[in-house]
Amino acid sequence: MSKAVLVDITKCVGCGSCGVACKMWNNLEYRKESPMLGKDSKLDAENWTNIKLVETETGAEKQSIWRFVKNQCLHCEEPACVSACFSKALQKTKAGPVVYHANLCVGCRYCMIACPFDIPKYEWGKVIPRIRKCQMCPGRIKEGNSPACTEVCPTNALTFGEHKDLLKQARATINNDKKYVQHIFGEKEAGGTAWLYISDVPFKELGFRTDVTTQAVPHYTESIMHLTPAVGLTWGALLTGMYVYNRRRNTIANEENDNKKGK
């Protein structure tokens, strides 16, 4: 059965535990210049999840409030990134996670272009770069456990379970409590995702992409992407070659400058 995570934004207090658990489980670096929590937080090659602080207003009196929004790969039911990846480096598992296999990646970055949520990131600073994103802890799920981030949430803002059961739970919650907006983000966006969100603030105000199609993106891309493997291989090789060349040239230039200074 397909697994999913339900995120109740009203319960998130911005503690950052989920981000810490993600970094520890996946051996990701901590970098001061790239915070995973706060207004300036963002996803990158070492931040597979981030908790964005959003200041907004609510109610007739426009009372100022804070909301914390956890972001990561949404693990679409029919992923555009998988459809775009002709080398099969990205694959959708039966359990739900969309998993990346670096040994199959040719560096074309079509997945970055195809993703409607701008999730996959690239290791621009490495000679042999990889695509980086949340894997939804497929090994843990296979063993019957929940993803690392959901297991440490102290306020139960993250609930892991069967996709169909969490959809029912989300509907019941927003129907029985008037504070919630009548929208489950991820139920229909891009054909549906494994990460579902409920909120008391309109999703657009929280930075969610609310203009994405409700049809699975591969329906639009498959007819085009299967024609492009040769272009992708050539482009990936060209970009890698250019990067190695420029880096080597810069290294030589720095060595020459050091030698001049030494003289």
Does pLDDT of 221 surpass 60?
no
| Average pLDDT value over all residues in the chain | 88
- Top-confidence residue, 232 or 60: 60
> Span 99-105, mean pLDDT?
96
Q: What local confidence, expressed as pLDDT, does residue 232 receive?
A: 53
| CA distances, 162 to each of 3, 77, 159 (Å) | 5, 13, 10
pTM above 0.85, yes or no: no
Q: What local confidence, expressed as pLDDT, does residue 63 receive?
A: 83
> Span 111-117, mean pLDDT?
95
> Do residues 123 and 102 lie in contact, with contact meaning Cβ atoms separated by under 8 Å?
no
Least confident of 70-74, 90-94, 253-257: 253-257
Q: What local confidence, expressed as pLDDT, does residue 190 receive?
A: 94
pLDDT band at 34 (very low <50, low <70, confident <90, very high): very high
> Span 90-117, mean pLDDT?
95
Least confident of 56-60, 110-114, 130-134, 160-164: 56-60
Residues 263 and 258: their CA atoms lie apart, in Å, by: 9
Q: What is the DSSP string of the chain?
A: --EEEEEEGGG-----HHHHHHHHHHTPPP-TTS-SEETT----SS-S-EEEEEEEEETTTTEEEEEEEEE----BSS-HHHHH-TT--EEE-TTS-EEE-GGG--S--HHHHH-TT---EE-TTSSS--EE-----HHHHHTTPPPHHHHT-TT--EEEEEHHHHHHHHHHHHHH-TTS-S--BTSSGGG-BSEEEE-SS-GGGGT----S-SS-THHHHHHHHTT-HHHHHHHHHHHHHHHHHHHHHHHHHHHHHHHHHH-
- Top-confidence residue, 246 or 203: 203
> Span 233-238, mean pLDDT?
56
Q: What local confidence, expressed as pLDDT, does residue 263 receive?
A: 45
Does pLDDT of 92 surpass 70?
yes
> Tokens in use for 116?
């409607």
Cα 28 from chain centre:
14
- Top-confidence residue, 254 or 35: 35
pLDDT band at 247 (very low <50, low <70, confident <90, very high): low
